[in-house]
Every structure is written in structure tokens, then in C-alpha cells.
């Protein structure tokens, strides 16, 4: 199991387009991937669940990954977040 904290750095946070990119990335993996913000937890493969977190720029989230491809999944998810969801700012 991997559990890492990462900060949302893109200007608009986890808005619809960014959430969709996160879900598309997470859905490529067999591992279970959960994102937590405070007491709220979301399945990273569910766009509605991710949107309900309302994670804005500067929000620290905790990513928990568990499964056979968790390392590759973490690399892809963290790269997406650190690359500002490939958005121009």
C-alpha cells in the first residue's frame, strides 16, 4: 500500500476537466485509488466522488493506492497533479 500527500497546484483545483483527467488516469489501473481531503474520502475512479471533495488550489490531499500496479499508478497520478493536469496557466 502507498499513502502519499500531494498538493493541488493548478489554478482551478479539481474542477470538472481536471477531475475527468484524474479519473481517466486512475481507471487505467487495477489498484484501488482513494483521494482524501480531511475527513472526506473519494474513489479516484468516480468523477462525482472526486468533484465532491471540492479541492481548490493549495489543498493538500492524501492519495492511498493498493494493488498490483500501485507504484505505476502513483507515478502517473502524481505526475498528472504535479503537471497541473496539463492545463495552461
Among 15, 46, 62, 76, the active-site one is: 15
CA-based nearest residue to 13, from 25, 22, 3, 26: 22
Concerning whether 15 is annotated as a catalytic residue, the answer is yes
- Which residues are part of the catalytic machinery? 15
Amino acid at each position: 500500500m502507498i499513502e502519499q500527500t500531494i498538493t493541488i497546484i493548478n489554478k482551478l483545483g479539481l474542477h470538472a476537466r481536471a477531475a475527468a483527467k484524474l479519473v481517466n488516469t486512475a481507471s487505467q489501473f487495477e489498484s484501488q485509488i482513494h483521494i482524501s481531503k480531511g475527513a472526506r474520502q473519494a474513489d479516484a475512479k468516480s468523477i462525482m466522488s472526486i468533484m465532491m471533495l471540492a479541492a481548490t488550489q493549495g489543498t493538500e490531499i492524501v492519495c492511498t493506492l493498493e494493488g498490483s500496479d500501485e507504484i505505476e499508478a502513483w507515478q502517473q497520478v502524481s505526475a498528472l497533479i504535479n503537471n497541473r493536469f496539463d492545463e495552461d496557466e
